[in-house]
Amino acid sequence: MLYTIPDYYRQFQCTADRCEDTCCAGWQIVIDNKSLHKYRKVRGKFGRRLRRSIHWRGKTFRQDKEKRCAFLEPDNLCSMYTELGAKGLCRTCRLYPRHVEEFEGVREITLSVSCPEVARILLGKEEPVCFLTYEKEGEEEYEDYNPFLYSKLADGQKEILGILQNRKIELKERIELVLSLAEDMERYVEKDKLFSCDEVFEKYREKCVCAEISETVDRKFCRNPRKVFRKLYTMEFLREDWEPHLRETEDILYGSGRESYKKTQEEFAEWLEIHMPRWQVQCEQLLVYFIATYFCGAVYDGKIYAKARMSVVSVFLIYEMLVARWCKNERQLDFEDVVEIVYRYSREVEHSDKNLELLERIEY
Ligand code: SF4
C-alpha cells in the first residue's frame, strides 16, 4: 500500500487543553464497531459512565446542550484519554485531524485545517508544500473502481499542484489555469480519451511558460459574489455561532450596495499588499490543501472540474470573510484572524458530506 503525506505532517502536535477551541464539540462522533465492543467491556465507575454516555443504536457519543462530547471535561481534556489512554479512543478521535482518502492500493493522508493548530502550521509555511510517499504492506481490491482513471487523476493533481506552486506566475492566473485544465481534463475523460489527457497537461505546461491566460477568476467572481456567499446558508450548520457569523459577514460586505462593496474590496486589496503580503503564499497553501485533499476523489464520481472549482470557491469565501473581519477590526487583521477564519470555515464545510456536496455545486 502506498501512503502520501504532506511534508508538514509530523510537525503537528495536539495542543490539548491549550487549544483555543476543541475538536470534541459541535460534531457527532461516530464510533467504530471495534471500539464499541471494547467500551462494553470496561468495568467499574468509568465503565458505568461509558455505558450511559453512548447512543448505542446510533453509535455516537452523547453530547450536552452545547454539543460538547460527554467525555469532554470543562478544561477541554478528554476523560476517555485520561482514563483509558490513547488506545481507548475510537478510530475517529484517534485519527483526527488526520484525513484519509482511500483509493485502491493508495492512502492519501492530509491534516485537516479545521484544527486551529494545523491551520497555523499550514498558513505559517513559507516554502511550497511537498508530498512524501512511503510503502507499507497490505493491498486490497475495490469493486467498480477504475485504476486507470485514478492514475490519470493523480497525474492531473501533480500538474495542478505544479501550476499552483509556480510563483513566477500571478496567483489569479495560476487559479485560472487550474480551472481550465480541470475543465479540459473532464471533457477528455467524458469523451473516453483518458489516455490523451497528457496532451492537456502538455498544453498547460506551455501556457505556464507564455502565461497565455484568457480571463481572470477575479472577473468571474465579481459577477455576483453575494449570490455565491449566500449558498452558505443552504448548508447544514454544525455550530450555533456559524449562522450569526454568516449574517454579520454578509451585512458588512454587501449590506451597503455594490459600489460600497467594490470600494471596500479595492481598499482591502491595497492594504493586504502592504501589510500582509504573505496572503499570496497562504492562499497558495490553501489551494494546494484543497486540491490535495479532494481532487483524486473524482475517481468515484467523475466530477473533475467541480473538485477544482470547490477549492477555488473555498478560498474565495475565506477571502470574503477576511475582508469582513478587516472592516470589523477597524481595518486591521493579523495572522490569528486568518487562522480562525480558516479553521472555522473548514469545521462547518469539510465535516459534513452534505455540505461538501453543496460546495461542489456552487457556480460563480
Ligand atoms: S482541534 Fe486540534 S489542537 Fe485542538 S484539541 Fe483538537 S486536535 Fe488538538
160 and 71 share one domain: no
Residue 92 to residue 23: CA distance in whole angstroms: 11
Give me the helices (H) in the chain, please. Answer: 33-40, 44-52, 79-84, 91-95, 116-123, 147-164, 171-190, 197-210, 217-221, 225-230, 242-254, 258-275, 279-294, 298-301, 304-328, 335-349, 353-361
> What DSSP string runs through 168-208?
TS-HHHHHHHHHHHHHHHHHHHHTT-GGGHHHHHHHHHHHH
Cell for 69?
Answer: 462530547
Mind listing the pLDDT tens digit for each residue in 116-171?
999 999 999 999 999 999 998 877 777 778 999 999 999 999 999 999 999 999 99
Q: Is residue 14 within 6 Å of ligand 1 at its C-beta?
A: yes
Residue 25 to residue 29: CA distance in whole angstroms: 9
Q: Is residue 77 within 6 Å of ligand 1 at its C-beta?
A: no
210 and 74 share one domain: no
Indicate if the pLDDT at residue 13 is higher than 60. yes
Indicate if the pLDDT at residue 245 is higher than 90. yes
Q: Is residue 154 within 6 Å of ligand 1 at its C-beta?
A: no
75 and 186 share one domain: no
Angle between helices 279-294 and 116-123 (to 10 degrees): 120
Asked, for residue 335, whether it belongs to a domain, the answer is yes
Residue 93 to residue 105: CA distance in whole angstroms: 24
pLDDT of amino acid 120: 98
- The protein residue whose alpha carbon is closest to atom 7 in ligand 1 is 14
DSSP code of 98?
A: E
Output the CA 14–ligand 1 centroid distance in Å: 5
pLDDT of amino acid 65: 86
| Confidence label for 219 from pLDDT (cuts 50, 70 and 90) | very low
176 and 248 share one domain: yes
Express as a percent the part of the chain with pLDDT over 90.
83
pLDDT of amino acid 47: 94
173 and 80 share one domain: no
Mind listing the pLDDT tens digit for each residue in 290-308?
999 999 999 999 999 999 9
Determine the atom of ligand 1 nearest the C-alpha atom of 14: 8
Asked, for residue 300, whether it belongs to a domain, the answer is yes
Output the CA 178–ligand 1 centroid distance in Å: 32
pLDDT of amino acid 249: 98
Q: Is residue 90 within 6 Å of ligand 1 at its C-beta?
A: no
Say which residues have a Cβ less than 8 Å from residue 228's Cβ, sequence separation at least 6: 221, 313, 316, 317, 362, 364
**Which of 78, 115, 339 most suits a substitution to test ligand 1, by most atoms within 8 Å of the C-beta?**
115
205 and 274 share one domain: yes
- The protein residue whose alpha carbon is closest to atom 8 in ligand 1 is 14
Mind listing the pLDDT tens digit for each residue in 81-116?
999 998 999 999 999 999 999 998 999 999 999 999
164 and 292 share one domain: yes
Asked, for residue 7, whether it belongs to a domain, the answer is no
- The protein residue whose alpha carbon is closest to atom 6 in ligand 1 is 23
Residue 298 to residue 147: CA distance in whole angstroms: 12
Asked, for residue 130, whether it belongs to a domain, the answer is no
Asked, for residue 121, whether it belongs to a domain, the answer is no
Indicate if the pLDDT at residue 242 is higher than 60. yes
Indicate if the pLDDT at residue 216 is higher than 60. no
Asked, for residue 272, whether it belongs to a domain, the answer is yes
Count the domains in the chain: 2
51 and 161 share one domain: no
Range of the domain at 62: 24-95
Q: Which of 57, 79, 95 is the last residue of a domain?
A: 95
71 and 154 share one domain: no
Asked, for residue 102, whether it belongs to a domain, the answer is no
Asked, for residue 327, whether it belongs to a domain, the answer is yes
